[in-house]
Structure 1
């Protein structure tokens, strides 16, 4: 009972909003208010100052918040350690990944894991950075894999496992196809196909432009798509050019469909990061998975591996193009 109250208290303290806390915990606002009131009555202290703009922690509330976090972390660690002692239990990792990682890295890692660790189940959720971050904070995800800027949350630990380059991609018949590089300023002259606003790839591109004194609003964005694969198909059809991750162009057929151009001004890189909950111990299986991501030589060999199904699909696309 008290664990539920502590979870409610922690959510209200971090969101500073009863309505938002209720939404995140899938509870009614009246139930949230009642549990906070019961806690204040139980400890004989007012933990929140309530105003029309929201709530703020009192001095007593700040002290109690720190203790609540400690208790919840202890309980979570105890649960994980006890779970590891259960014999013959199949190991499960609830994993969250953003789109580029989920589409182009995980599919090559999972067959390797299935072969090396058949006892390990990976339950993957592909979503945007904000959803992955929230999933880790709410302990629904054990590990999050994100691209681009890392969240500024003291509850989270972020560590880079790979660096990814953004490149300009044009169809093989484009006038730029014979070039090796372009400037960012030249992008304003072309029809641009991009990811939707809020995506990690889009954000990194906009930051790169701003850092070089260019206004992202000057780009001639003619199409926004929620999938890198969809963007590649549109570009291959000659409906525009794009700026996407070099990791998404590793398959053999990509080399015949597209030409990849580097940024002349200076290369645009972004970090691919692992996010986990701070003050929370990891199981041996979670550590195994994280160590795999940090094995750069192995990771790159898996990412660059082409599977037969991919090659067959690419051959079909090439045949259709030649016809």
Structure 2
């Protein structure tokens, strides 16, 4: 903003050169020089000066009125720019696949809320295919998914964490008493309780089956991790689940990890976005994901 304008307004409001100089942290001669230069630029005298006071004349009142408006507009403009450049806030729509969304994301959002209370997140939980599709259609700002999905090349994808998948069973299951690692062939005979097709957890299980050449004879499909854990805990079968998802059940003895040759199976979680242009809120959220030390960080070479 033009310093001459600021000095003029201050002198007009203080009605005294000395008090204006004090408020502006300037010398009185410097203030007087600013006013003379400003009046010369305007082309008319703006202040009536006496030994006792300084007052606006008619031209000065007109200039003062517009000067205040100009200063107000400038201040508003600067505040808006500062908010845009320096403050993260506003709505942020986040999508996550079930495992991450149910067991990890709430802790990330709690940290974000503490550090950036002006960000207003909304969360959608779905399988990997659903979340990726919503990001592609710009219905979500960002997605956190596991495994691969349709039209992957249409989105920006950044692997950021790893997750170990383990076989779990009820502590009363016959496999839980095995003193040795269980073979894949032995697992083929068991009833498997798995997520639905399209979920990253199901993709991980299918990858394990394909890798070791097994085809379970009995499979029960359930579309959510929590009821799968309940079914496994009740002795209905075994499952392949994320270690993130079973911490409480392991702690309370409701589930037990079965030691299996070739496992755990490690999978990647990725951040997916649809645009190269990111809001400040989205940048903050992605940095929290990247820097969360509770996750096993994956870094592509």
Please classify the TM superposition score into its range, dividing by the shorter chain length: 0.5 to 0.7
Q: Shift of residue 139 of structure 1? A: 1.3
- Deviates most, 166-175 or 250-259: 250-259
Q: Shift of residue 296 of structure 1? A: 4.0
Give SS of 1:161's match: strand
Q: What is the CA deviation profile of residues 108-155 of structure 1, one whole-angstrom value per residue up to 9, with x for unaligned ones?
A: 222222222211111111112222112111211110111122544332
What does residue 146 of structure 2 align with?
Answer: 147
Please, which runs of 5 or more residues in structure 1 have no aligned partner? 1-80, 301-323
Q: What is the CA deviation profile of residues 251-302 of structure 1, one whole-angstrom value per residue up to 9, with x for unaligned ones?
A: 2664411111243124311111110114x211222111111111141447xx
Q: Shift of residue 104 of structure 1? A: 0.8
TM norm structure 2:
0.65
- Alignment RMSD (CA, Å): 2.7
Q: 1:89 to 1:158 in 2, by over 3 A?
A: closer
- Deviates most, 140-149 or 107-116: 107-116
Q: What is the CA deviation profile of residues 224-261 of structure 1, one whole-angstrom value per residue up to 9, with x for unaligned ones?
A: 11111101111111121111111101226644111112
Would the aligned equivalents of 1:292 and 1:299 in 2 still touch at CA under 8 Å? no
Would the aligned equivalents of 2:89 and 2:281 in 1 still touch at CA under 8 Å? no
What does residue 284 of structure 1 align with?
Answer: 280
Size of the aligned set, in residue pairs, is: 216
Please, which runs of 5 or more residues in structure 2 have no aligned partner? 1-79, 297-301
What does residue 221 of structure 2 align with?
Answer: 224
Equivalent-residue separation in structure 2 for 1:273 and 1:150 (angstroms): 11
Would the aligned equivalents of 1:249 and 1:255 in 2 still touch at CA under 8 Å? no
Q: What is the CA deviation profile of residues 152-186 of structure 1, one whole-angstrom value per residue up to 9, with x for unaligned ones?
A: 43321111111111111011112222447433322
What does residue 165 of structure 2 align with?
Answer: 166
